[in-house]
Amino acid sequence: MLSYQHIYHAGNFADVHKHAVLIRLLKTLKGKPAGFQVLDTHAGRGLYDLSSEEATRNREFDTGAACFMDDPAPLMADYLSIVRKFNPEGELKVYPGSAVIAREMMRPSDRLICVERHPGEFLELQKALGNEPNTKLLQEDGFKALVDMVPFPERRGLVVVDPSYEIKTEYVDLARHLQQAWKKWPQGIFLIWYPMLEAQGHRQFLTALRNTDVKDVMVSEIRLHEPPQEKFRMYGSGVVIINPPWPQDTLDALTRHIASRLPVKAFPDVFWLDNQQINPETGVIKL
């Protein structure tokens, strides 16, 4: 059994990055009256208690979500209203994860499917979302669901893929699964998050994805000058959107804004993966 537990990292700068983009995508989907579906393939536990022993070990939220609690920027208004709903007194005590954020943003008639394989996380997810309307929780393999459950019957919606990358091969396998899912649903919107770590696994992922048939891939990255938590050594956060429903400027503005509010120097970068070059010798994308 793999041991990753997101609660150690809940609310960190990468969560702000991925969840702000998630919210922007959901807002766009809600712009039309037709119902839609969200499939969250690696849902986590839904709600994270930031006073827990795990979350307070490194207090990663102090250099992430906590820096946005009084952010007046309209770009972050939806993000803040959801985080504040779970923290009505103003102090950040509970952090909503992707599954809870999705349910909060969706209309009761929109359908949410959350997949989480870890038994402990799944139990918590059931507590957080077990009684919500039009919400299905499945304890199974998220990568299998990614391929098997598309396209959605509604033909509208979003697939969120936020793996824990505990196995080295997961980066390349993910590109293969995305290729299979995209072949079944080339019009689908997919949001994928990746960490930027010393081992550079994300470059393998981007290179492998660049070498598939998948088209229209926009990437947003935030790189930190120095990782705030030495132990985790994550120096950046990346978000891939396949078939983004808006132009590059939209993601540019959001990425730049988030980077500008972080307490350490951070470098935002947004690009189309399709336009990047592959170095034939190293296989690495020249960024």
Ligand X SMILES: C[S@@+](CC[C@H](N)C(=O)[O-])C[C@H]1O[C@@H](n2cnc3c(N)ncnc32)[C@H](O)[C@@H]1O
Does position 162 interact with ligand X (CB under 6 A)? The reply is yes
**Residues 102 and 160 sit within 8 Å (Cβ to Cβ):** yes
Residue of 15, 40, 110, 162 marked catalytic = 162
In 3D, which of 133, 142, 135, 186 has the Cα closest to residue 164? Answer: 142
Q: Residue 164 CB, nearest distance to ligand X (Å)? A: 4
> What DSSP line would sit under 241-267, residue for residue?
EES-SS-HHHHHHHHHHHHHHSSS-EE
Of residues 62 and 141, the one with the C-beta less far from ligand X: 141
Separation between Cα atoms, residue 257 and residue 73, nearest integer Å: 9
Interface region with ligand X, contact rule CB under 6 A, candidates 56-64, 81-89, 140-148, 232-240: 140-148
List alpha helices for 114-169, DSSP H. 119-129, 142-148
Residue type, 73: A
Under the criterion CB under 6 A, does residue 141 sit at the interface with ligand X?
A: yes
202 binds ligand X (CB under 6 A): no
60 is a contact residue toward ligand X (CB under 6 A): no
Binding test (CB under 6 A) with ligand X, winner from 16, 25, 38, 44: 44
188 binds ligand X (CB under 6 A): no
- Token pair for residue 175? 């590109």
Report the run of H or E that residue 10 belongs to, with start and end: none
| CA dist 33 → 105, 158, 245 (Å) | 14, 16, 16
Position 143 contacts ligand X (CB under 6 A): yes
Instruction: Decide if 162 is catalytic.
Output: yes
Rule CB under 6 A: is residue 115 a binding residue for ligand X? yes
Nearer to ligand X, 97 or 201 (CB): 97
Query: Is 64 or 97 the residue whose CB approaches ligand X more closely?
Result: 97
- Which residues are at the interface with ligand X (CB under 6 A)? 2, 4, 6, 42-44, 97-98, 115-118, 121, 141-143, 162-164
Active-site positions read: 162
